[in-house]
């Protein structure tokens, strides 16, 4: 059976996806060679390419099932195996069995997260259209970014080579849980900005870029942790609101017995 020939615009998003895969593979090579900071930067670069390929595909009208499957396979390498290997060789190896089990759990959680994402992507959209703008579980590029920026932050603090800190071990377990959890995370893929507020949005984007560029190892680390924590915090906020809405209204103070 002859396969359908894709249009020319099909090549650009696939090239960006392969560039993300290349960055993830380079991250693994750098981790094995002990260049942990370079490995962390390569994961950040992979996340940038991963964010661009989907947007380019939607802008050029070249989205396809092939592109989605290729993206998932590349994400498994760049945001599953690469950060898992980086975390193990950089900080988890001294913990023996608990260390490599944490790294394996991270890789397995990434695979489960991607499988669930692909399943939900082919399912009918929910009745509430705003729910389609959310991610179910922490996106694997964000989890990988949290691992990478942790390496960058410790390098900023003066740590050279490998480290041994219990919070890093716990962070890997926590990221694994958040990826396969049902916590909802905000997605910025289809943000609707009213025409009258687009100028303010541009100013806000410039301020965010200035903040991130001020001290990238610190600002990226803080941003990654805040986004990872936003899912559980948002769920707690919604639970508090629903509980408050179910409470009976207070009696009228002016009413007499």
Which is more confident, 189 or 205?
205
The pLDDT score that the predictor gives to residue 146 is 96
86-100 average pLDDT score: 95
Residue ranges per structural domain of the chain:
8-121+131-246
The pLDDT score that the predictor gives to residue 7 is 52
Q: Are 51 and 115 a contacting pair, CB within 8 Å? A: no
> What torsion do the CA atoms of 209, 213, 216, 220 make, to the nearest 10 degrees?
-10
Tens digit of each residue's pLDDT (9 = 90 or more) over 54-77: 778 777 777 777 878 888 999 999
Tens digit of each residue's pLDDT (9 = 90 or more) over 107-160: 999 999 999 988 877 665 555 544 545 788 899 999 999 999 999 999 999 888
For residue 144, give the nearest of 210, 84, 229 by alpha carbon.
Answer: 84
Q: Is the dihedral of CA 120, 123, 125, 127 positive or negative?
A: negative
For residue 114, give the nearest of 130, 136, 133, 87 by alpha carbon.
Answer: 136
Q: Return the CATH architecture of domain 8-121+131-246.
A: Up-down Bundle (1.20)
Average pLDDT of the chain?
Answer: 85
165-170 average pLDDT score: 94
């Amino acid at each position: 059976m002859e396969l359908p020939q894709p249009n020319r615009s099909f090549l650009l998003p696939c090239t960006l996806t392969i560039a993300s895969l290349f960055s993830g593979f380079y991250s693994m090579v750098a981790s094995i060679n002990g260049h942990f900071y370079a490995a962390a930067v390569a994961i950040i670069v992979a996340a940038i390419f991963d964010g661009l390929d989907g947007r380019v595909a939607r802008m050029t009208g070249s989205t396809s099932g092939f592109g989605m499957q290729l993206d998932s396979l590349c994400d498994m390498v760049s945001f599953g195996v690469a950060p898992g290997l980086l975390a193990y060789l950089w900080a988890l190896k001294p913990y023996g069995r608990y260390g490599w089990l944490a790294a394996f759990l991270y890789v397995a959680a990434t695979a489960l997260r991607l499988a669930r994402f692909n399943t939900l992507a082919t399912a009918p959209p929910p009745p509430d259209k705003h729910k389609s703008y959310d991610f179910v579980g922490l996106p694997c590029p964000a989890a990988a970014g949290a691992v990478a920026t942790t390496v960058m932050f410790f390098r900023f603090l003066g740590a050279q080579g490998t480290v041994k800190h219990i919070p890093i071990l716990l962070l890997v377990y926590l990221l694994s849980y958040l990826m396969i959890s049902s916590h909802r995370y905000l997605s910025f893929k289809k943000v609707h900005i009213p025409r009258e507020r687009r100028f303010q949005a541009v100013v806000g984007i410039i301020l965010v870029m200035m903040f991130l560029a001020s001290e990238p190892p610190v600002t990226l680390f803080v941003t990654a942790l805040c986004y990872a924590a936003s899912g559980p915090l948002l769920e707690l906020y919604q639970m508090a609101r629903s509980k408050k809405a179910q409470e009976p209204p207070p009696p009228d103070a002016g009413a007499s017995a």
